Amino acid sequence: MPKHFSTKKRFLTDEEKRKRAIEFNQFCDGFDEVDVEEFIQEDIFDETIELKCLDCGFHEEIDYDIVSECWNSFMSDYPVSYCPKCNTGDFVPLDVYNRLKNK
């Protein structure tokens, strides 16, 4: 869990894990296939982050993997992105939004 903001983890059901393993195997063309039943036994989760715009208040929950690939943690304590609604560069994690707005 990141230090300066929170993310949400949701564990996948066995059916969701089965579906992902089967889809993965269909696209890997026999190279590095996963054993579906072994995959189901693993703890697999989706991780999301809630972002909110400091300007217009637009709120969205998105996949944390997408955010973490674009965020340089050496440059800032939390990710900042452009708001998909008003296009300003003030789209921040919800915890950060709450801290900044409650000052």
Among 99, 98, 79, which Cα is nearest to 89's? Answer: 79
The alpha carbons of the chain give a radius of gyration, in whole angstroms, of 17
For 14, list phi and psi in degrees, rounded to 5. -60, -35
Number of Cα atoms under 13 Å in the Cβ half of residue 81:
22
Q: What percent of the chain has pLDDT over 70?
A: 95
> What tens digit of pLDDT does each residue of 19-34 get?
999 999 988 876 789 9
pLDDT at 37: 96
pTM more than 0.85 = no
Instruction: Assign 1 a pLDDT band (cuts: 50, 70, 90).
Output: very low
Instruction: Assign 2 a pLDDT band (cuts: 50, 70, 90).
Output: low
Cα dihedral 9→83→75→8 (10° resolution):
-10
> What tens digit of pLDDT does each residue of 38-82 get?
999 999 999 999 999 999 999 999 999 999 998 888 888 999 999
Q: What percent of the chain has pLDDT over 90?
A: 75
